[in-house]
Structure 1
Amino acid sequence: MTVRSIENIIRSYPSSDGDGVKIRRLALFNQRDTDPFLMLDELVSDDEADYMGGFPPHPHRGMETLTYLRKGALIHKDHMGNRGEIRSGGAQWMSAGKGIIHSEMPELDLGGLHGFQLWINLPAKDKMSDPAYRDVPKEEIPLVPLASGGEVRVVAGNWVLEGKEVSGPLDRLAANAAYLDVSLNAGEELHLPVTGNKRAVAYVYKGALDTGSISAPQLPEKPLLVFGTKGDELHLKAATDAQFLLLAGEPILEPVAHYGPFVMNTQEEIEQAIRDYNSGQFGR
């Protein structure tokens, strides 16, 4: 097997969204080497003032979200009548399709909040499909211990770990996206096959991975490591004790037009989404 190299490192930055929720954000709308992923937010704080305002009702169109919590709780409500909750260790998938209006409001659970929301692009043929939604409790997410002491939570997609095929509960994401939450001890390595047509990225939210030519002190805080497309295996080695999300997906290779919560292919489609929302026709 040929090992893929790291070809780009993208800096995350502090931001806020919703009702003043403090986040760390990677905006990837114009990054062709991270297609099909559009944005990744990390929500992390032990101070209720940083997140209890939550995300009051707001619209989406043309993309999917995958929300994964390591700690805390979020309550989802939408205009279709869905109500669900995810708690520590659980995940939630939502396909906005032609339109959904929803809210995501925190609840106190174990004190503090730590989670991630990933935006995945929808291809043009699916952007006006019916919206869909699913909650996945912690118990449905496989936890794979590694022989050297680390562990992997398989949130979505099909993977080969320690020589065995393991599938996450979310197996119908756009772009055949796949999602792991990985913990490695310092010096520990993880080797993963990855098919040639998939792109792969790793968001290192704690510690550091060995990046080869770039030493750990030179890396930005909480970087996104972007792997090239040449090769069929990823070699991941922890420079320190490390935790990271590993994402893989098939590139959609279509134009991206983005405005706030709407992701379409053209500016005209964005303007139509705004008109639909303002006229009360959203999602119909």
Structure 2
Amino acid sequence: MATTRTVKQRIPSQPTSDGDGVKIKRIASFNNAATSPFLMIDELKSDESRDYIGGFPPHPHRGIETFTYMMTGHFQHRDHMGNVGELRDGGAQWMAAGRGVIHSEMPIMTDGQLHGFQIWINQPAKDKMNPAKYHDFQPEVMKEFTTETSGLLRVLAGNLHAQGEALQGPLQDTGVESIIADWRAETSQAVTLNVPSSHNTLVYVYAGTLLVEGTQVQSGELAILNAGDTVNLSAESQTGALLLSGEPLHEPVVHYGPFVMNSIDEIQQTIDDFNNGVFETY
């Protein structure tokens, strides 16, 4: 019998900066079992180039996957393995850092606007020392579902059932089963989504206000949902929201800057490897 998910907790995003002074709104949740496997959500939104012009110069990662989604604006990726990619409006890119990667990320406005997200997904302990991987996905490959009553749903990663329709996102090879989708709706539009009952499921509202089974969630808030297999969303105003749903990892998380491992000893080894130039040999 289907059970409907309700809101367990709402977490407001916090303004901060990263990279070369890039202004972002962040949800950091490294040690919250209820959000696993998702570790962090950064929202980049600006109509002022000075808020992001320095971008994210070359920096390392180990032990995570990053998923970057640009709704408005371009995003240039370069890494030490020779991968180069530039997202257009509506595109996404995925990187599994594994044992180590050094990359740069440079946002570029479209028509004076920039709006996108970077999501950190934890890698299972068994994958943290695998070789790094990178893929980008331009807007043409994104799967969309729209009706007059349910708004527009874009499935970016994983497999999602919406209003009885089975939708498959272009990204399928995440290390842990995950679903990422973007829902945009006008006032009074509503959608019913089906997600695996074993998943942790989150909703991040980036525009307007919506209801999750009667609980109001506002722009800039993350809603952590209770257990269930059905998510009912309804728009109280013109609304945009990300749905994140994933199989939780029941493993210890030790986080230090751009590194996420399972123990202090592994973090220290990672720091030593980076300082000794080991990352550049992968």
Q: TM-score category by the smaller chain?
A: over 0.9
Distance in 2, Cα, partners of 1:243 & 1:105: 24
Q: What is aligned with 2:122?
A: 121
Q: What is aligned with 1:64?
A: 65
Distance in 2, Cα, partners of 1:70 & 1:108: 11
Aligned with 2:272 (options 258, 270, 275)? 275
Q: What is aligned with 2:182?
A: 181
Q: What is aligned with 2:82?
A: 81
**TM-score of the pair, normalised by structure 1:** 0.95
Q: What is aligned with 1:195?
A: 196
Q: What is aligned with 2:223?
A: 225
The alpha-carbon deviation at position 156 of structure 1 amounts to 0.7
Query: CA deviation digits over 1:23-74, x for unaligned, max 9?
Result: 0000010111001000000000010000111000000000000000001111
Contact 1:86 1:137 in 2 (8 A): yes
Q: Number of residue pairs matched?
A: 280
The alpha-carbon deviation at position 184 of structure 1 amounts to 1.7
Distance in 2, Cα, partners of 1:211 & 1:109: 32
State the identity as a percent: 48
Contact 2:65 2:97 in 1 (8 A): yes
Q: What is aligned with 1:137?
A: 138
Contact 1:158 1:166 in 2 (8 A): yes
Amino acid at match of 1:15: T
Higher strand share: 2
Tell me, what secondary structure is at the counterpart of 1:34?
coil
Distance in 2, Cα, partners of 1:183 & 1:206: 9
- Between 254-263 and 239-248, report the one with greater CA deviation: 239-248
Q: What is aligned with 1:38?
A: 39
Query: RMSD between aligned alpha carbons?
Result: 1.4
In structure 1, stretches of 5+ residues that fail to align are none
Amino acid at match of 1:164: E
**4+ aligned runs moved over 3 Å, structure 1:** 211-214
Q: How is 1:131-170 mapped onto 2 (pairs within 5 angstroms)?
A: 131-148=132-149, 150-170=151-171
Distance in 2, Cα, partners of 1:166 & 1:212: 23
Distance in 2, Cα, partners of 1:196 & 1:182: 20
Tell me, what secondary structure is at the counterpart of 1:110?
coil
Query: CA deviation digits over 1:138-166, x for unaligned, max 9?
Result: 00101211231510111111011232211
**TM-score of the pair, normalised by structure 2:** 0.96
Pair 208,279 (structure 1): closer, same or farther in 2 beyond 3 Å = same
Distance in 2, Cα, partners of 1:87 & 1:268: 40
Tell me, what secondary structure is at the counterpart of 2:176?
helix
Q: What is aligned with 2:238?
A: 241
Pair 239,110 (structure 1): closer, same or farther in 2 beyond 3 Å = same
Contact 1:36 1:250 in 2 (8 A): yes
Contact 2:255 2:261 in 1 (8 A): yes
In structure 2, stretches of 5+ residues that fail to align are none
Contact 1:38 1:120 in 2 (8 A): yes
* 1:51 aligns to 2:45 (yes or no): no
